[in-house]
Amino acid sequence: MEQNDKLSDEILELRLQLEEAQDTINAIRTGQVDALVVKDTEGHQLYTLKTADQTYRVFIERMSEGAVTINRDGIILYCNTRFATMADVPLEKAIGKPLSSFVPDVSQDLLAHIVNSSWSNDCRQEIILKDGEGKDMHCLFSCNAIELDSGTALSIIITDLSVLKETERQLQVKNEQLEEARSTTEKLNDSLEATVKERTHDLTISREHFKLLNNNIVQMTWTNLPDGRVNSHNQRWYDYTGLDFGATQEFDWKKLVHPDDMQLTAEKFYQSLKTGEMFEVENRYRRHDGVYRWHLNRSRPLRNDDGEIIFWVGTATDIEDQKREIDRKDEFIGIASHELKTPLTSLKGYLQLIDGYKKEELPPVIKQYIAKAGISINKLQGLINDLLDVSKIKAGKLEYNLENVSVTYLVHQCVENAEHIYASYTFEKEILGDFTVKGNAERLEQVLMNLINNAVKYSQTNKNVVIKAAQHDNRVRVSVIDYGIGLSKDQQSRIFERFYRVEDKKNMTSGLGMGLYISHEIIKKHNGSIGVESEPGKGSTFYFELPVA
């Protein structure tokens, strides 16, 4: 028992001594002491540490690199705390161990080589160390052989390159990314440049193309700003007018328009500027030699993506020759219809004579022939009358006296007439009142009969026709409704033109396209209006309106 207690006391004493020794070593390492008193067999001795070393001890202990000293056998004689931390071993366990035990197998040969050569020459070399978890740690070894009191040793300063390597790796990645981005940008740039070049080329071609076309076409062209000011003309304009660029600026074009056409031209021009709708007018422009020639003017707006007008593009086509041709045609029609009228009248007279001559003695077949010839002559007379009317309209000679006309009576009369001619059709009347207008009974009958004739002509399957008369405000409206082939919007806008006929091979009937034109002119003369509402395949409603007397 006594023996045990004694041993315990000794162990405790030794532990205290060990702790004290460790504290002392730490104090020496950290430079807290320069001398120590050691108790040995000869009593207390004073050991002084060389003062010059103190700075280096502190310096080595605190530096961020690992520091190791090894002997010729590669055994660690000394290492600083940083090395112990790098290798993740307690400081006291590192001292006395071979340095090679902290190096992975792959680096063993390199370590041996570094160590061997460093005894004779200082050397710096990168090498891999093992950290506490066995993971590779890139380090730089700086080796110097040093002479100590106890003999030669190799001092190695170890710099941890992990952070540097990681930074280098990241830098490398970033560099690669940068390179990739640069090359992508370069490619993009190249393709952008190519596209721009191509577009510029296309644009130049298209501009030159446009310029060439614009200056070589026979039409005069110009562009207007949204407020109407002219900002360009083509070469043809300058050639025709004999003016130069400066002289045709702003609104100078007005000086070139024939005074008689100016009002209509200006009205339509300002109307289009206001509404943005196409400008179209026929007028006469003065040529450089003072001669006026008829032109068809058209101008359309060019709009941006927001629908705002950027500028107007206008053209003027010389229609002088067409106008002359039309005049000659009109003249010919006038003369021909006049010439035809005289023999036709005598033909009709002779036929009537034959018809009246011993009628009862004529064989029935001859009577039939005379009746048929009479129908044909009436048709021919109708055509010639229409042609004469067209000529009169053109010459401004469609004149007649106005008197009170009963529209109600007119409708009854025309329907009775139609029922007599078109026996297979049903005519329904809807007369909502007794209406009187100021007009020419014969001409109004001509209009209504023309509308009824057309209703029959253009509705071969559904044989119902409705004729209505009703008052709208202070106007009386007469409508003729059929359920026939109908008309498209485009056709509706043109049917009142002279000689216009719808080109429909399937429903083609005889006619010259004069009826509606004449009707339109007659109604115009009555201060009325004529119009149509229609849907292809469903039928049409033609109507005219006249002021109530």
Interface with ligand ADP (CB under 6 A): 454-455, 458, 482, 484-485, 487, 495, 500-502, 511-517, 540
Nearest-10 crossing angle of helices 2-29, 51-62:
90
> Smallest gap, in angstroms, from Cβ of residue 411 to ligand ADP?
17
Q: Considering the complex, what minimum distance in angstroms separates the CB of residue 385 from ligand ADP?
A: 13
Least Cβ distance, residue 454 to ligand ADP (angstroms):
3
In the block, residue with structure tokens 């506490």: 132
Q: Which is nearer to ligand ADP, 299 or 540 (by Cβ)?
A: 540
Q: Is 93 exposed, middle or buried (0-12, 13-18, 19+ CB in 10 A)?
A: exposed
Whole-angstrom distance, CA of residue 87 vs CA of residue 133: 9
b or e along 163-188 (b: 16 or more beta carbons within 10 Å of the residue's beta carbon)? Answer: eeeeeeeeeeeeeeeeeeeeeeeeee
Three-state secondary structure call for residue 151: strand
DSSP-assigned letter for residue 63: S
For residues 115 and 518, which CB has a smaller minimum distance to ligand ADP in the complex?
518
Closest CA to 28 of 61, 4, 6, 65: 61
Of 131 and 330, CB closest to ligand ADP: 330
Written as six digits, the tokens of 214 are 């614009």
First to last CA, the chain: 155
Residue 276 vs 382, nearer CB to ligand ADP: 382
Which residue, 406 or 417, is less far from ligand ADP as judged by CB?
417
Burial of 396 (0-12, 13-18, 19+ CB in 10 A): exposed
Q: Measured from the CB of residue 491, what is the shortest distance to ligand ADP in angstroms?
A: 7
C-alpha radius of gyration, the chain, whole number? 59
Q: Which residue is nearest to ligand ADP (CB)?
A: 511
In single-letter form, the type of residue at position 209 comes to: H
Q: How far is CA 92 from CA 71, 79, 196, 477, in A?
A: 17, 9, 74, 124
Q: Which is nearer to ligand ADP, 511 or 547 (CB)?
A: 511
Give min distance, CB of 499 to ligand ADP, in A: 8
CB closer to ligand ADP out of 515 and 528? 515
The least CB distance from residue 425 to ligand ADP, in Å, is: 13
CB of 530 to ligand ADP, least distance (A): 11
